[in-house]
Amino acid sequence: MSDPTQGERVAGTGNVAAPLLRVENLVKHVPIKGGLLGRTVDKVHAVDGVSFTLNAGETLGVVGESGCGKSTTGRCILRLIEPTSGEVWFEGKNVTAMAPAALRAMARDMQIIFQDPYASLNPRMTVGAIIGEALTIHQLAKTPREYTERIVGLLETVGLSGDHLQRYPHEFSGGQRQRIGIARALAVSPKLIVCDEAVSALDVSIQAQVINLLEDLQAQHHLTYIFIAHDLSVVEHISDRVAVMYLGRIVEIARAQDLYTRPQHPYTEALLSAVPIPDPRVKRKRVLLQGDVPSPIHPPSGCHFHTRCPIAQPQCSVESPVLKPVGDAGAAGSHWVACHFRG
C-alpha cells in the first residue's frame, strides 16, 4: 500500500484495487453546553482528522489509551454517531452522505460488537429473540421454521447450542454472552464488523477463545474487522495492520509485524514497552511516559504528544506532524508515522 488513505496496489499491474472501506479526514468534535441558555461553550476533540483504508478480508487493529478517539472513530464509521466532518466510503458509496433509508439498508453490511456483552443484550429478551431481531427487521427469514433454523445455526456457529434459544442473557458467562453478541452481528451476514473493545472485559483465557472464534469466522465468511482495543498485546494476534491513536489522531499505522518489531513513533514504543514478554530471560526496557493524557477539550498545540514525548524538541509544540512513509516508500510503503524526527 502506498498511502494509508488509498487503495492497495495490485502486484505487477500498476492498478489500484478499490478498498472495501475508505475513511477520509474524519473529525468528531463533541460540543460542551453551558450557561443558562445552554450555549456551546467548548468542544471535545474526540476524533481529529483520521484517514485510512481497509481491504476486504483484512483486520485493522486500532489501539490507544482511553479517550484517544478509537471507539468514536468506529461508531462514526457506522454513523451510530454523526461525524462533524470527513467522509466514509464503503464499497464505493459515501456512507456519510446517505439518507436514513439507505443507511438502514447499509446496516446489514456493517455491524458492531460492543465491549460489555451484558449491557448490550436486552435482559428481558431471550437469546433467540435477541439474535432473531435483525432477521425480522431485514426480513431475512421467510417462514417461522426458517427463522428458528437460522438462529440455531448462528448459535452453533459461535460455539453455543440450539438448547440456549429460550434462555436469557443472565444465564450465561461473560464469554458466552460475547458469543451471543457475535451471533447477533453475524445474523445479517455483514461484510465489515467493528469489534469495539470486544474482548477487553473478558478474562485472558476467554479473550483467546473469542479471538480464535473471530479468526475462524473471518476465514469462513471473508469478514473484514476493525478491532479496537487499548492494549497492543490484544490486537497483535488478530491484526494484519495496526493503527496507533493518540488524542484523536493516528500517529502510526503499519503492518502488524513491522509495528511490533520496528516501532517508529515514541508513543508506540512506550505502549510496546508495557507489553509483557512470555520469556523471562528477555528483558524489555520500559519507557515510562510522564503525566496523564491531556484533555481532549484543549489538546496540546503542534504535536499532541509533545507534553509527554521523551524526545520532544521546540518545533514539536508549534508544528503538527503529518503521517509520512517510513524509509523507502516503494519498498516499505505500508508503514507510516506522524513525527518530525522519526521515519
Give CA–CA dist 95/88, Å, rounded: 5
Q: 90 or 336, CB closer to ligand SF4?
A: 336
| H/E element, 77 | helix 70-78
CB of 290 to ligand SF4, least distance (A): 12
**What are the grid coordinates assigned to 69, written together?**
478517539
- CA dihedral sign of residues 43, 110, 207, 57: negative
Using CB under 6 A as the binding rule, whether residue 118 contacts ligand SF4 is answered as no
Among 134, 309, 323, 326, binds ligand SF4 (CB under 6 A): 309
The verdict on 321 binding ligand SF4 (CB under 6 A) reads yes
CB of 268 to ligand SF4, least distance (A): 10
Minimum distance, C-beta of residue 274 to ligand SF4, in the bound complex (Å) = 17
**Under rule CB under 6 A, residue 294 binds ligand SF4:** no
Of 281, 280, 238, 268, whose CA–CA distance to 342 is shortest? 268
Residue 303 touching ligand SF4 (CB under 6 A) = yes
**In this chain, which of 76, 316, 323, 326 binds ligand SF4, going by CB under 6 A?**
316
Distance CA 251, CA 265 (A): 7
Q: Quick one: which H or E segment has residue 260?
A: helix 256-261
Order across the sheet with 192-196: list the strands.
Answer: 110-113, 192-196, 224-229, 59-63, 241-246, 249-255, 336-337, 324-325
β-strand partners of 192 = 110, 224
Least distance (Å) between residue 191 CB and ligand SF4 = 35
CB of 64 to ligand SF4, least distance (A): 14
The interface region with ligand SF4, picked from 218-226, 232-240, 311-319, 327-335 by CB under 6 A, is 311-319
Query: Using CB under 6 A, which of the segments 1-9, 14-22, 166-174, 302-310 binds ligand SF4?
Result: 302-310
Considering only 305, 323, 325, 326, the residue that binds ligand SF4 (CB under 6 A) is 305
The reply to whether 311 sits near ligand SF4 by the rule CB under 6 A is yes
Regarding 266 and contact with ligand SF4 (CB under 6 A), the answer is: yes
Write the CB contacts of 233 (distance below 8 Å, at least 6 apart in sequence).
275, 276
Closest approach of Cβ 301 to ligand SF4, in Å?
Answer: 11
Told to check if 54 binds ligand SF4 by CB under 6 A, we report no
- The closest of 239, 240, 266, 238 to 252, measured between CA atoms, is 266
The beta strands (E) that lie in the chain are given as: 8-9, 16-17, 21-34, 39-54, 59-63, 85-90, 93-94, 110-113, 192-196, 224-229, 241-246, 249-255, 324-325, 336-337
256 lines the binding site for ligand SF4 (CB under 6 A): no
By CB under 6 A, name the binding residues for ligand SF4: 265-266, 303, 305-306, 309, 311-312, 316, 321, 339-341
